[in-house]
Chains A and B, each alone.
Chain A
Amino acid sequence: MRVAVVGVQGDVEEHVLATKKAMRNLGIEGEVVATRRKGVVSKSDAVIIPGGESTTISKLIFADSISNEIVELVESGKPVMGTCAGLIVLSKFGDEQVEKTKTKLLGLLDVKVKRNAFGRQRESFQTTLEMKKVGKIDAVFIRAPIVEEVGKEVEILAEFEGRIVAVQQGKILGLAFHPELSTTKVHEFFLNLAEP
């Protein structure tokens, strides 16, 4: 199995390490590649969009048309996971911050997101979260977004204080927090989506 981490900006390395560990835990043979270039995503079995700055990540993946490769991969039934900025980029609808910064979204996940929903870095936090299909995990929220509205096809996997922070739509996984910083459980769940 080959997993691509879109490596244009953000905590790419952390996703690569978490995915490798998850592969070992599951006994899956495969490789994890961070990529900033065209042509790698389309040859992969799963793709991860990391945390970072959504304005920056969006600009860079659209400029280099890695965006098309992600869309095509997902349309061919392969799984994709976006964490924090990655969730925003995957979404169909953004908030006024997304509009103001003219951030382009991939529109794959039928949700409306709100950026920086908990506030600035001072309000960033770590907590224990109960995530459906995954279990109890340590979750790190950094200037995190939330999901405000979900479409019919979208299943809510976790809420925090009444706000949606993890969703699944088929093989598309969107998380407001950063599992790559604290656990491999979410990556194990994600890899299982990639198994035929």
Chain B
Amino acid sequence: MKVEIEKLRFGTELVKRGFAKMQKGGVIMDVTNAEQAVIAEESGAVAVMALHKVPADIRASGGVARMADPKKIEEIMDAVTIPVMAKCRIGHIAEAKALEALGVDMIDESEVLTPADTFFHIYKKDFVVPFVCGARNLGEAVRRIWEGAAMIRTKGEAGTGNVVEAVKHMRLINHAIYLVQNVSEEKLYSVAEKFASRYSELSKLVREEMGLSIEKEIIYERFAFEEIVEGIYEILLEIRELGRLPVVNFAAGGIATPADAALMMRLGADGVFVGSGIFKSSNPQKFARAIVEAVQHYDEPEIIAEVSKELGEPMKGLEVTKLGESELLQTRGA
């Protein structure tokens, strides 16, 4: 029996990151029922994200947004052969465990849902199922990768149909990677310390409140600050060598048209999540196919022009600068 266990290894970094790599060059579509999931699969989606409501409706209805009804997720899993992903709230280990038990193929620890923990994200290395997490900048991306995320996506501003924030986040990450490639190892270490400082916020708060401190304090899961810095430094070194994130990096949050998708691919995205864009448009089938084609042929303008013809009304869209700070989803979880 022991031999069997050694022979088979589940949920290794290679298996989890490998899963994400198989999604490259693809479109992952938000769906809220089995019928939409089938349309997504038929249109060439590489995976679907099973949701209770698309982000635009989450935004409109307000209140606390939680993990989708597992029954609904199961119906979607039964309807399609491509991978099914589902979202849990930031830091909500119990929702994530439930989704893992359900058998979803990837969990999105997502700012689109209402965060359950203002201090910490889930320590994802403790899971067999791979995770994707949003990031606005390199610090967020590196922290999520250190926690075990197998895939990063830009946060953008979900449910707005406005690509501006996704572009911003992709550009910020790209420029940060460029800087990482051009500084000394010593300076990189201080970047790692800066990136890791987010993990000491809780302990700092409590230490200040109590007016005391201890040696070798564990500040997150089973790690002391120095260990987190080491881990993050290792990831930065990897980024420096690769010239990119060591995991797949998708674009998400406000992608509404084929040209939007092509734009994100041009900026270096490995693939695209389309949320409200498809099933909020007047002809979802045509729209879904057009976005798949656009990602496929992002550097062929004639094809982008062709697939963009007569798509009908895209989702209406929101001006992000007119949203109040409290209405922004991207500021959740840093």
Contact = CB atoms under 8 A, between A and B. Distances in A.
A44 interface: no
Contact of A121 (B25, B44, B130): B130
B223 interface: no
A9 B25 CA distance: 5
Interface stretch (A18-26, A70-78, A123-131): A123-131
Contact of B24 (A10, A97, A100, A125): A10
Contacts of A10: 21-22, 24-26
A84 B167 CA distance: 33
A185 interface: no
Contacts of A14: 21
B100 interface: yes
Nearest to A100: B81
B19 A121 contact: yes
A126 B15 contact: yes
Given A11-B18, A11-B22, A124 B9 contact: no
B9 A126 contact: yes
Contact of A127 (B7, B82, B128): B7
Contact of B44 (A59, A123, A143): A59
Q: Which 3 pairs of residues, A with B, have the shortest CB-CB distance?
A: A121-B105, A9-B25, A11-B21
A101 B79 CA distance: 10
A13 B7 CA distance: 28
Contacts of A12: 24-25
Nearest to A121: B105
A122 to B, nearest CB: 6
Contacts of B106: 121
Given A53-B26, A181-B21, A122 B128 contact: yes
Contacts of B83: 53, 120-121, 143
Contacts of B103: 119-120, 122
A120 to B, nearest CB: 5
A119 B292 CA distance: 26
Contacts of B26: 9-10, 52-53, 56
Contacts of A178: 18
B158 interface: no
Interface of A: 7-14, 36, 51-53, 55-56, 59-60, 84-85, 97, 100-101, 115-116, 119-128, 140-143, 178, 181-182
Given A122-B11, A124-B18, A126-B12, 11 more contacts: A9-B25, A11-B18, A11-B24, A60-B296, A100-B81, A120-B105, A121-B104, A122-B100, A122-B128, A127-B7, A142-B22
Contacts of B14: 126, 140, 181-182
Given A7-B25, A56-B26, A84-B22, A142 B15 contact: yes
Contacts of B21: 10-11, 14, 51, 181
B18 A181 contact: yes
Interface string B77-114: 10001110000000000000000100111100000000
B18 A142 contact: yes
B2 to A, nearest CB: 15
Given A53-B82, A55-B81, A9 B8 contact: no
17 contacts: A12-B25, A51-B21, A52-B23, A52-B26, A55-B41, A56-B46, A56-B292, A116-B81, A119-B103, A121-B106, A122-B100, A124-B18, A127-B9, A140-B15, A142-B15, A143-B19, A181-B18
A13 B245 CA distance: 14
B141 to A, nearest CB: 19
A124 B45 contact: no
Given A140-B15, A182-B14, A52 B9 contact: no
A119 B105 CA distance: 10
A105 to B, nearest CB: 14
Contacts of A97: 81
B39 interface: no
Contacts of A101: 41-42, 81
A52 B270 CA distance: 13
